[in-house]
Every structure is written in structure tokens, then in C-alpha cells.
Amino acid sequence: MTQAPPTCWQRTRRLLLRWPGLVVVPVVLIVAALGSLSWQHGPVLCPFRLTTGLPCAGCGLTRAFLALMHGQWQAAIGFNQLTPFVLVWMVSWWLVAVVALVRGRDVPALPRWLPRLGLIVVVSFWIGRIVWFATQAQPWQRMIADSPVMRVVDAVLRRLA
């Protein structure tokens, strides 16, 4: 007994489970374009920053994408310097994937060296951000202001002193 060919819905579901970025990339860009312009002063959402008070490599990307999609490139780069590269990577990957699928081909795999290079860039950027943060005025006070965990650490250190 032969199996019936997969329905359009089944093929689409399989495709999106394998390549969720096909939906995620345009949704991120659309939400950023429709998002509020009150992005300058938002709450801290980063789990690493909430825990340590230190910025991670991705801190500021949400506000940066909102700024980019509203044509404010300088503000976007001020929030996170990796923003233009992330945007170009996302849109490029999405275009290549869609063109491949329209032509009836599978989405091409990334070269093996590319994720490694990306990891090196992100980790280097993160280390640079932390070093830069440490050289700013009153880094400990900024960490305490951004992190409930660091407020507890500060309170314990003050009691021990």
C-alpha cells in the first residue's frame, strides 16, 4: 500500500519546522517597523544583564531594530554596533532561502566555517563591551542599577564590611 503524497499544509509545516527563520525574519522586521517609537528608554530584557548588570553581545538589539526600521541608523548603532551586520545577515539568508524554495531547491546549508567565524566575532564583541563597560564612570553602580541580583550582592557586601 502506497502512502498518499503530503498535503500542502504538511509540506509547509515540515518546511517551517526545519527553517523557522522563514517566518521569524519577516515577523521581526514587520514588528520592528510597526513598533512604537518609545524605544529610547525601555526596560532591561536581557537575562544576562538582569543577573550581572553587565551588557551581553545582544544587549540593545531590540531597540536597535526598532531604530533601524524607523530610519534612525545612528541610534541603532549606538544601541548595538552589531546591528547592521545582523540585519544584513538576516535579510540575506532569508532572500537566499526564499529564492531556493521558489526554484524548488532546498535551503542551502551554511558553510561550516561561517558559524565559527560568527561565534568568534560575537564573543570578541562581548569581551570588548565588558572591557568598555568597566572603563566607564562608576561601573559597579550601573551594575547595581540594572540588576536585582547585584543589588542583593551589594547589600550583602555592605553588611560584611
Q: Where are the beta strands (DSSP E) in the chain?
A: none
For residue 114, the tally of other CB atoms under 10 A from its CB is 11
- pLDDT of 40 reads 66
Grid cell for residue 42: 525601555
Listed in sequence order, the residues at least 6 apart from 137 whose beta carbon sits closer than 8 Å to its beta carbon are: none
Grid cell for residue 65: 531594530
Instruction: Give the start-to-end residue ranges of the domains of the chain.
Output: 8-160
Residue 136: DSSP 8-state:
S
CA 10 to chain centre: 30
CA 24 to chain centre: 12
Which stretches of the chain score pLDDT less than 50?
none
By the 8 A CB rule, do 22 and 94 touch? Answer: yes
H-helix segments, the chain? 8-18, 21-34, 47-52, 61-69, 73-79, 83-102, 113-135, 139-146, 148-160
With cell 531594530, the residue in question is 65
